[in-house]
A and B are shown apart, each in its own frame.
Chain A
Amino acid sequence: MTIHRKMWSDKLTAISLTVIAMVAFLGICAPWFAPHSPEQVHMELRYASPSWQYLLGNDHLGRCVLSRLIYGIRPSVLWVLAALLVSLSFGGILGILAGYFRGKTDQMIMRVCDIMLSFPGYVMSLAVVGILGPGIQNILIAFVIMKWAWFARVIRTSVMQFAEADYVRFAKAIGVGNAVIIWKHILPVALPDIAVISSSAFGTMILQISGLSFLGLGIQAPHAEWGMMLNEARGVMFSRPELMLAPGLAIVIVVSAVNFCSDALQAALDPKLQKNTRKPLRGQGLFPAKPKGEEVA
């Protein structure tokens, strides 16, 4: 059975994958799906209840909550995905180099990783934002700086087991270049591991960016972001609690979906997990099962 089939055969995983795909699609095509402009102020509609025209009601400036939610996908999910890919490729390249070449290269890269990993993640992202100033780009930069070391370390471990494999030795013996070996023989087998760690990091990063935006450090007004929408609703938490629902649920649903997928992916790829359980083992939604290595932060 292929990985692809295994994942689709599980209902929850299938739903999760669909949710993620839909969210991403909505985010990319936001201008076509959002019923209104997310930044258009209608003071006369301040805190208006849901209506047919504004399906989720209006916020403190009378802006359409649904449209803001849809536009909020971009920073909350898509930009996070972009930051993830950047730090993953950065960490991945260094990790593969370290794991494949070993020796001095490995030593050097790993010591730099040690330094990076010895900083508590949240504190470092706050410090980076403090130095560069608030804004979504700066948070994403902070993410890239903070995460690559963790990726590099995990990927190195994964690559190391294959670097010693017989077929790699044979390839070396017949004079195949290092680049070709990495590309053809190492990368394909290391990919599943990379997929698992990156998917589990994705969920944490979505939560973190919402958290920082909630603190007012993320994206700046008037652009929409889920964490910021939560913060805006916080001021009227007791008079209009319903305003917290839409962005809150959006975060919970997307992060849960990502984590379910990550678990399913892990189960589908790891033979050990398949033996013990028929169905893929699931984490508890918001708390992902960490594959290996330290806490992603």
Chain B
Amino acid sequence: MRKKSTIFVAAVTLVMLLAGCGAAENRQAEAGKPGQELVYATVKDINDMNPHLYPGSMPAQGMVYESLVENTADGIQPLLAESWEISPDGTVYTFHLRQGVTFHDGEAFNAEAVKQNIDAVQHNSAKHTWIRLSSKIKGTKVTGEHTFKLILSEPYYPALLELSMTRPYVFLSPKDFQNGETKDGVKGYHGTGPYRLTEHLTDQSAVFEANAKYWNGTPFISKITVKVLPTGETTFLALQKGEVNFVFTDDRGTDSIDTEAMDRLAESGAYQVVRSEPMNTKMIVANSGKADSPVQDKAVREAVWHAIDRDTIASQIFSGKETPAGTLFSSNVNYADIGLKPRAYDLQKAERLLEEAGWTRSGEETRMKEGKPLTMTLFYDAASLSQKTEAELIQNTVKGIGMKLELLGEDSSSIASRRAAGDYDLLFNQTWGLAYDPQSTVSAFTSETAYYHAIKGISRAEQLKDEIEEVMVTTDEEKRKALYADILTTVHEEAIFIPLTNGNLTVVAPGNLQGIGFKQTQFELPFERMSFK
């Protein structure tokens, strides 16, 4: 009898405990119900929203800040500058600014604010070497309430393209500056964009509300909440429960939800899955400058290139949602249609290349050359599902040709710092997208914060550097074409950037959301154009 009652008490307690959990979850779902709002999930916090530095989340910065001009499919279009003139020698840009624009804190947007912002960026130019314009700006000048002159040291053709980027040449209210600077932190995050940041809980959430005074009309969606959900499974559950209702490929190219789960969401009717056109090239960067590593050897890099079965990666790992890439830039990218010869998936060729370069196999599993084994480390973003699978597939294939790959999954920011420090053999990366290709990606070849180390080890490194320097300043279109062809051929020949697939942006959105589109950059989304049916 006593035993029975004990069991009864235990059972009741257990039921109550479970019921308690359920109730708590329900409340949470109720509170997070978005209605006519968007709640998007992100793997990482929006971080420091200072637009003149780089830790912040780009989609979030894209909502708050705006640039002078916008890069669209039809070329450069006005944004905060209504019109502009370029002096005949190509060194002076005169911008006529849009009138009646105010920052979120009520400050007027005028030529003075533009000058202060650009000066603040220039005072921290070491951080901005990847954007070549930062080394070309000689002066900034206010010539009227709404006229601003940008003076360059020499003509630089991608100037407008680089001014259109999400950062750093975007505008923050001068009131937020600290001692007239932005490099050591700012007091507030007031931009001119369609949304303003109203609340930020680090590593939890951030709230953006529509800017009622936005110069281009108040956006339809009144509130956008960003929720930090580090893993794909929680994001998927949150989508099902309605805690979040919007997910997209983040600025590091990470899709946290697997394609099948996304398709299932779309089938339910509550969600739609929208994919952009191919925007970038996902690739493996080989660090030719890494001392004492087999990756210095061109034959090894070529062998890796030949040993990757891109068709299988595209059809199996990406379920046919991405296409195999044969070159660093696909041929629809400006200046990139130069007929480079793709290296096919050919294991025999790979083995022959290794053999010819002196990497021989005598019985052991791993090839050796001068007593050194053919072992390299491939770094991947631990948050990305596809990268690990790709890495394991490649690891398995190259094992067959006597190459040993060690895999190491790391946080995306740790991968970025490895790239900057040159502390890697191979790592996963992607080109920067239509708006940035080829000029910014190419110019990043020589930037210390990007691919400087990867390029360093090739025989034509110095020459390549000069060519890149020249291609950015030449005004002769034919010469520019020839130089780009030369640069791209060199890095292709040297097999520095081993392409995998052409990546795109994926958006999972509520079924009744319309106006989902993409910008020319993979780093932000035009939220202001979206609305509910």
Residues of chain A having any CB pair with chain B under 8 Å: 39-41, 43-44, 46, 60-61, 134, 216, 220-222, 234-240
Contacts and interface: CB of A to CB of B under 8 A. Distances in A.
Nearest to A60: B389
Nearest to B262: A239
A39 B396 contact: yes
Given A39-B396, A222-B392, A238 B261 contact: yes
25 contacts: A39-B399, A40-B396, A41-B392, A41-B396, A43-B312, A43-B316, A43-B393, A46-B316, A60-B389, A61-B393, A216-B409, A220-B406, A220-B407, A221-B392, A222-B395, A222-B396, A234-B231, A235-B233, A235-B258, A236-B258, A236-B260, A237-B233, A239-B258, A239-B260, A239-B261
Contacts of B309: 43
Interface in B305-360: 309, 312, 316-317
- What's the dominant secondary structure at chain A's contact region? loop
Contact of B233 (A40, A61, A220, A238): A238
A203 to B, nearest CB: 24
B377 to A, nearest CB: 10
A43 B309 CA distance: 10
B387 to A, nearest CB: 11
B407 A239 contact: no
Interface of B: 231-233, 236, 258, 260-261, 264, 309, 312, 316-317, 382, 385, 388-389, 391-393, 395-397, 399, 406-409
Given A43-B316, A134-B408, A236 B261 contact: yes
Contacts of A237: 233
A216 B382 contact: yes
The 4 tightest CB contacts between A and B, nearest first, are A239-B260, A41-B396, A235-B385, A43-B312
Given A220-B407, A221-B388, A238-B264, 14 more contacts: A39-B399, A43-B309, A43-B312, A43-B393, A44-B316, A46-B316, A61-B389, A61-B396, A134-B408, A221-B391, A221-B395, A222-B396, A234-B231, A240-B260
A235 B409 CA distance: 15
Contact of A220 (B231, B261, B399, B408): B408
A131 to B, nearest CB: 16
A236 B231 CA distance: 12
Nearest to A235: B385
A61 B406 CA distance: 17
A39 B396 CA distance: 7
A220 to B, nearest CB: 6
B404 to A, nearest CB: 11
B396 A235 contact: no
B392 A61 contact: yes
A235 B260 CA distance: 11
Contacts of A61: 389, 392-393, 396
Specify which of A41, A44, A235 lies most central, judged by the most chain B CB atoms within 10 Å of its CB: A235
Contacts of B385: 235
B331 to A, nearest CB: 27
A234 B236 CA distance: 12
Specify which of A43, A220, A237 lies most central, judged by the most chain B CB atoms within 10 Å of its CB: A43
A46 B236 CA distance: 22
B264 A239 contact: yes
A61 B399 CA distance: 15
Nearest to B312: A43
Nearest to B265: A238
Contacts of B399: 39
A240 B259 CA distance: 12
Contacts of A235: 232-233, 258, 385
A32 B22 CA distance: 48
A139 B408 CA distance: 16
Contact of A238 (B236, B406, B409): B236
A235 B388 CA distance: 11
Contacts of A46: 316-317
A139 to B, nearest CB: 15
B215 to A, nearest CB: 43
Contacts of A236: 258, 260-261
A38 to B, nearest CB: 11
A164 to B, nearest CB: 42
Contacts of B312: 43
Contacts of B391: 221
A263 to B, nearest CB: 20
